[in-house]
Chains A and B, each alone.
Chain A
Amino acid sequence: MTVNEPTLRPASEQDEPILELHDVRKVFGSRGVFGNSTGNTVTAVDGISIRIRRGETLGLVGETGSGKSTIGRIVLRLDEPTSGQIMFGGEDLAKLSVREMRRRRQYIQMVFQDPFGSLDPRMTVGELVAEPMFVHGTPRAEIPLRMERILKHVGLDPRMSERYPHEFSGGQRQRIGVARALVLDPSLLILDEPVSALAVSIQAQILNMLRSIQRETDIAYLFIAHDLAVVRHISDRVAVLYLGRIVETAPRDKLYTMPRHPYTISLLSAVPVPDPDLERQRKRVELHGEISSGTAIPTGCRFHPRCFRTRFIATQQGGSTISVEGEQLARQCVESDPVLVSAVGDDDEHSAACHFPLSDTELAAVMGMRLGDKPSLNDHANSQTQEHNS
């Protein structure tokens, strides 16, 4: 997919990415009870290109079925990519043998969502943290020292190393998971929903710890989550996924304040903010229906069945429209698959895959961003949003 190239060009030579995915695809074949192929396939990741620089956090957000977790697993080759390149440290991980790949895993580590399920209950904390070092051949003499250092680093008392996971709370267990992942000094950490299983009062402890570790070690994070506020808090850049594709990517503040893709806008408008005055003045952009599945990806733009934008464009003069299940949609959205291109002028940091990305004024009208303003696109806003009086 050469169209993705602009976003992949390094901003400067020093910004050499440590991880680059080029047009990665993952198709799961569905198998029947006897292991025979049923011919049904699920496209979980459909041509994704991302890059992460040293010391940077890339946030991947998306709903169930967007493929965000699969991407994390593909980087470590816990799932094998169907096609595409995974460039890390100058080589394509996708081409390595299983054995060679195993050795690379000391540089890329993963933290999972469930701090209960991901730690062996029969091993002490010390054994859990030392295990990666044994596997990767760290000299035995170094192990105790490194273990003590890493436990302190994640905020655990090294004297606790004789204890078992069940003696710890969820937050502390997640710290153990992070210690295990960091003990080999990886340059990239993949975090898949690392705080979503934790009590709300505990999440900040883990997020703050991750931020301080990054400041000290220059480690890069691929942070995968569904919670847009959490992703905003920790990320430098954010990519929004929908049905296996990146639909929008931008530096954090641009993505959250000037989203261009209708899906990003719908997502952001669905998250309520805990300020009653602000919240009840906000408009809600309504998504039509539910996410499609990877077995039957819609034609053209995969978001068109749920998109408010294509319905609005179809009401405008001059454009070609098409009737789908009794609704008028913009023909281009139904027939042609949009590519991820610069969303504003020549800003190659901010890209969106949309035939009709929203301008600033349209965005303000749709989201009610400038509170108190009368929407300039009255019909547009009214038919798609619900204004909440307070």
Chain B
Amino acid sequence: MKQLSETLGIRPCTLVYLVLIALSLTAFLVGRLGFSGLGVSLLVLFLALIKGQLVGSYFMGLGSVRGLWRWLVFIWLFIPGILIGMAFTLSYQ
């Protein structure tokens, strides 16, 4: 992300901001266009987890922290992410 931001000549946090906007618009369009189904739901969930990790690493600054704190947001995203994914998968069976 840092290398790409240097290539584009913008701050890493600005690049992250633009990626977050793009991913949010993608999720919105998926809903707006009426796409549904397990694959679509899991894709939207995955995009949300990526956005959460970007916020944790770059906005909250956990990407530059050593030890367990670095994984705080990842663990928080992982546990509900798995549970939500599991519940939606079961709803299609």
A and B from one assembly? Answer: no
